[in-house]
Structure 1
């Protein structure tokens, strides 16, 4: 299904309203399990980067690579005072609205938005941390992107990549299955393949963990798949979403907590953490 048009309509609904943006971003952080994993890794990465710097030495430079609505830059800017965030995307309309959104919330001094294509990345950094959330499955030339990430990252800097896996990611469970999100150029990564590509770019891979195990996959169906199917058929169903989530959300949150707590032997998502070796 066409996922972006539905996402764009929600973006327009909250445009220009700070209170609506706060509510929308909070909702996204709750409903999407990826946010639970990404926020956990961000806390660890910011603590690690901060431990290498003296107090007041400089800010921790972060690249939000493929920022979209900017929800992760928003979350980081509100919680970590020491960050200087560069948020890039190829969509100028997204960035224009993000600039207005952050200015209204007085977060614009913490985050700089720039149009940039990750395949031909113009940002030169250097950065202490790079975040890429559900972006790489949209890019055919992924190894070029990883090479750019390595180039602009400081020695010992980290990259966090969240992406679907080949174990049912994008809701594809057979070799000829159709992706739930038609904008994807790949359904997901094999864990070994993602590791190999990062290592070829020069990274030392700290870990690649499965996300969206049995509990998380069920939560995704309740929190994302069913509502998106409804809205894809007719956007007017949006008026019923509060009733749907009132019933489903308590179950979804429990399933999210279980998925994050467990070590998943397999899952439909991957989260990778890697760093640039100090001598490179």
Structure 2
């Protein structure tokens, strides 16, 4: 499955104007259920956060979550790090144009070599850990970078079929998203890894239960499969979402309101 080229194509379109990029962020917030879960956790964190909190987005991508955090806290200082030079440059350019360059910065860095001590109140890791072979090393680095009492917030696929990733099928088939180094995390396994990394408290919750998984197929999987088949589907896409998104929206609300025994995603909060 060629997922990254689709993301790059969309990114180039929405990068043509700062207003289009803001629209892109808003669309991601609407479409991606993981963003719904992250926004809920950020609202909880904000109630206890310092007004001058320092935040790290560890794997910032397009800068979607940095944008949201910068808007909910005018005193927050935020750093986004990513391994892709072009995305770091695009994000720095966009945030400067939006007048946020004084408290928001993006840098190119690898999490395996990240080395800052007691510097952050909150670290985000959204759909990053499943891409990293040396995940325990990264967890230790992020724990080291947090202040005492700081929180690491992780969103990642679970081992219950997260994102339809199945690299090791007996027939050799490749999963829907083929950039992951692991199919997903077992809840107990990631808790143990985080405790070994130095975190004192770890809480895990499943996301993407049955309603969320169906919403993800409607809002993400089916359109991306169609776009991989033919780019002409870009023309049909707005009409598809007019029909499919109201259903996905309701399913996302149901998923967020439920406590799931199992799900294809995990939301993890780890306290130093």
Work out whether the TM-score is over 0.5. yes
Q: How do residues 22-41 of structure 1 correspond to structure 2 at under 5 angstroms?
A: 22-41=22-41
Deviations 1:236-263 (A, max 9, x none): 3111110111111111110000000000
Q: 2:236 corresponds to which residue?
A: 240
Corresponding position: 1:195 with 2:191: yes
What RMSD over aligned residues (CA atoms) do the two structures have, in Å?
1.5
1:72 equivalent among 65, 70, 73: 65
Deviations 1:22-54 (A, max 9, x none): 11110000000000000111121232222xxxx
Q: Is the 8 A contact 2:200 2:271 kept in 1?
A: yes
Paired with 1:9 and 1:108, the residues of 2 have a C-alpha distance of 26
Q: How do residues 147-226 of structure 1 correspond to structure 2 at under 5 angstroms?
A: 147-172=140-165, 176=169, 178-226=174-222
* TM-score, normalised relative to structure 1: 0.92
**Helix, strand or coil: the match of 1:235?**
coil
Q: Is the 8 A contact 1:165 1:187 kept in 2?
A: yes
Q: Is the 8 A contact 2:167 2:183 kept in 1?
A: no
2:109 equivalent among 101, 106, 116: 116
**Helix, strand or coil: the match of 2:225?**
helix
| 1:179 positional shift | 2.1
| 1:232 positional shift | 1.3
Q: Is the 8 A contact 2:167 2:178 kept in 1?
A: no
Q: 1:85 corresponds to which residue?
A: 78
5+ long unaligned stretches in structure 1: none
Q: How do residues 9-24 of structure 1 correspond to structure 2 at under 5 angstroms?
A: 9-24=9-24
1:129 equivalent among 122, 135, 139: 122
* TM-score, normalised relative to structure 2: 0.95
Q: Is the 8 A contact 2:210 2:263 kept in 1?
A: yes
Task: Report how many aligned residue pairs link the two structures.
Answer: 269
Q: Is the 8 A contact 1:66 1:87 kept in 2?
A: yes
1:235–1:204: structure 2 CA closer, same or farther, 3 Å change rule? farther
Corresponding position: 1:2 with 2:16: no
**Helix, strand or coil: the match of 1:159?**
strand
Deviations 1:51-87 (A, max 9, x none): xxxx6xxx10000000000000001111211211011
Structure 1 ranges of 4+ moved more than 6 A: none
Paired with 2:229 and 2:179, the residues of 1 have a C-alpha distance of 17
Deviations 1:122-157 (A, max 9, x none): 444510000000001110000000000111100000
